[in-house]
Amino acid sequence: MSTAHELQEALEEARDMPDGDGKIAELERIAAHADAAGDVRLGYDARIDLIDAYNNHTERWRMLPAFGWCLAAYDRDPSMFEEWDGEQLRWYHKWAVATLRSTPRVGLAQTRSALDDMERRFRAGGHSMQTIYNLRCKIADHIGDEPEARKWFDLWRTAERDENSDCAGCDPSRQAELLAGWGEWDEAVRIVEPVLSGVLGCAEQPEKALVAVLLPYLKLGRYEEAAKAHVRAYRRHRHERDAFPFLPEHLRFCVLTGNTDRAVDILAEHLSWLDRPYDDASAMEFAAAGALVCRLAASTERVVHRPASENRAEADLTLPQLGADLAAQAREIAAQFDARNGTDHQSRRISLWMSAEPILESLELPPDQPTPSYMAEPGLPPEGRDEVVAPLSVQGITAALDDRGDRYYVDEDGTVGGQWGKGMLTFDRMGEQGEILHVRVVAQRRLPADRLMEAYAFCNAWNHDKLLPKAYVHDTGQGDLILAGDITTDLEHGVAAPQLAVLLHAAIVTSAQFSDEVATLP
């Protein structure tokens, strides 16, 4: 790996690797070779990919040196970079500052300095301060300075949004989390209503918003809504590894509403995730919520299997045994945060979590897996329905979307459609027998016609780096460009319901990502 061409080829191959230790090691190796060769641009590109890899592989604190290197390279010679590079750096600057709340391995003074530098750059570039207020609010809340956090919160809510702002569908959820932490139950529910009603959304919604209002719903006595919110959100979160930060709220909800067996089931199912958590903050909260479950469910005398991890042997633990381990882990991480912050806020917060008492003796939950329409055929044994291979049908598509909890419409011609993220998706049956599943996404963001070559470049880059969807540009002839994509799957021999669910989920997630990236174009 000595020539620039070989290094570039290696970088392209590394980008296609799955997230994990192997990808990180390869990108670090390429960055080192680029530095040795004096190739600043390649070193920059490798580190940008490293930032993504660190973020996706639950090692977010490791992005800081890479980000600092990229920022310094950009400052030294801005002429080497495109306008898009500057926009990407502003986005990653947010990530760098946000690591403070996710891990105690980052210094408080270091983070504040990075945020001050970020604000200076935003003001010089004429950007909105909305993102700056967002970050200052969250940092103040994290260290326990509620008056300061509320001051920044009001500025965050009223400042004008711009291209650097967080997702419009996710901002209300994050604000609701803060309001719930301050005991503002009514306001927490009110602020996410646009998300819950479908006015605002993204690929992570409404499940993220539903988790944010679980405790407010309970405190307000809206028990049926709380039960539905938990079941719907967990139906998705149980399968997504990056949903680990939401699991503590699911655990707390179950055990505080008398659903102790379900709480233990969830704890046991995801306990291994604690060995490779999303970040330190979510590990602390999961361990604290798990300790609460173990304390309140101790009378059930259940035993939980804990898998082996590094130097820890596998073991079958009673709830008191497991609870003691989890409580110790939660307290240790909280103490690390507090030592870094110079406060005792996290330790006090986690102690309150672990000492909580039930809100309700019992709360009936709706069915965890509602019976979709494809399982309604009479005479078919329940244990075999998931294995049935049947022709592609509108009912099968809507059943899969129902299981996900999605909102959608069905046209008279059988087209199923809806909005996911910043894109409109349609699901059609094509072919002579309706055997071909065709998914089309149209990004909400349109570009002016004079940016045609840029639009082509974006779609070509997407098609080179991504499998789904196939992206293309449509010139309306009326002065603007539509960026769209499609996914076609031949199901001539039929499809089983679980297989169709996987296909639709992949289509929705990748199409929403495509639309979101179109929205971030300059």
Per-residue pLDDT of the chain (522 residues; tens, 9 = 90+): 468 788 888 888 888 787 788 889 999 999 999 999 899 999 999 999 999 888 877 678 888 899 999 999 999 999 998 888 888 898 899 888 888 889 999 899 989 999 999 999 999 999 999 999 999 999 999 999 999 999 999 999 999 988 888 877 788 999 999 999 999 999 999 999 988 877 766 667 788 999 999 999 999 999 999 999 999 899 888 888 888 999 999 999 999 999 999 999 999 999 999 998 888 999 999 999 999 999 999 999 999 999 998 889 999 999 999 999 999 999 999 999 999 999 999 999 999 999 999 999 999 999 876 544 434 443 434 444 456 788 898 888 988 898 888 888 887 778 898 888 888 999 989 887 888 899 999 998 888 888 888 888 899 889 888 888 999 888 777 778 899 999 989 898 888 888 898 899 989 989 988 998 998 888
CA distance 453 to 521: 13
CA distance 475 to 334: 55
CA distance 136 to 132: 6
CA distance 175 to 170: 9
Surface-to-core class of residue 20, CB atoms within 10 Å of its CB (0-12 exposed, 13-18 middle, 19+ buried): exposed
Residue 293, both tokens: 């479950």
Q: Residue for token digits 């008279």?
A: 412
CA distance 346 to 144: 8
CB count, 10 Å around CB of 94?
17
Q: What are the C-alpha distances in Å from 335 to residues 328, 340, 342, 381?
A: 10, 9, 10, 54
Q: Tell me the β-bridge partners of 436.
A: 430, 490
Q: Residue for token digits 């919110």?
A: 229
Cβ partners under 8 Å of residue 16, min gap 6: 465
At 372 the pLDDT is: 44
Identify the helix (H) or strand (E) that includes residue 488: strand 480-490
Question: Is the whole model's pTM more than 0.75, yes or no?
Answer: no
- Cα dihedral 32, 34, 38, 41 sign: negative
Surface-to-core class of residue 432, CB atoms within 10 Å of its CB (0-12 exposed, 13-18 middle, 19+ buried): exposed
150: Cα within 13 Å, side-chain hemisphere: 9
Q: Shortest CA distance to 3 belongs to which of 45, 44, 33?
A: 33
DSSP string of 130-155? Answer: HHHHHHHHHHHHHTT-HHHHHHHHHH
Residue 233, both tokens: 């959100």
Cβ partners under 8 Å of residue 279, min gap 6: 58, 60, 102, 103, 245
Residue 144, both tokens: 């326990």
Count Cβ neighbours within 10 Å for each residue of 376-391 and write b for 16 or more, e otherwise: eeeeeeeeebeeeeee
At 374 the pLDDT is: 38
Count Cβ neighbours within 10 Å for each residue of 225-235 and write b for 16 or more, e otherwise: bbbbbbbbbbb
- CA angle centred on 87, ends 506 and 442, rounded to 5°: 35
Q: Shortest CA distance to 233 belongs to which of 254, 256, 257, 219?
A: 254
At 352 the pLDDT is: 97
How do 315-318 and 416-420 pair as beta strands? unpaired
Number of H helices, E strands in the chain: 23, 10
CB count, 10 Å around CB of 62?
19
At 56 the pLDDT is: 76
Surface-to-core class of residue 482, CB atoms within 10 Å of its CB (0-12 exposed, 13-18 middle, 19+ buried): middle
State residue 212 phi and psi, 5-degree precision: -65, -25
State residue 325 phi and psi, 5-degree precision: -65, -45
At 381 the pLDDT is: 44
Q: Shortest CA distance to 134 belongs to which of 144, 125, 118?
A: 118
At 201 the pLDDT is: 64
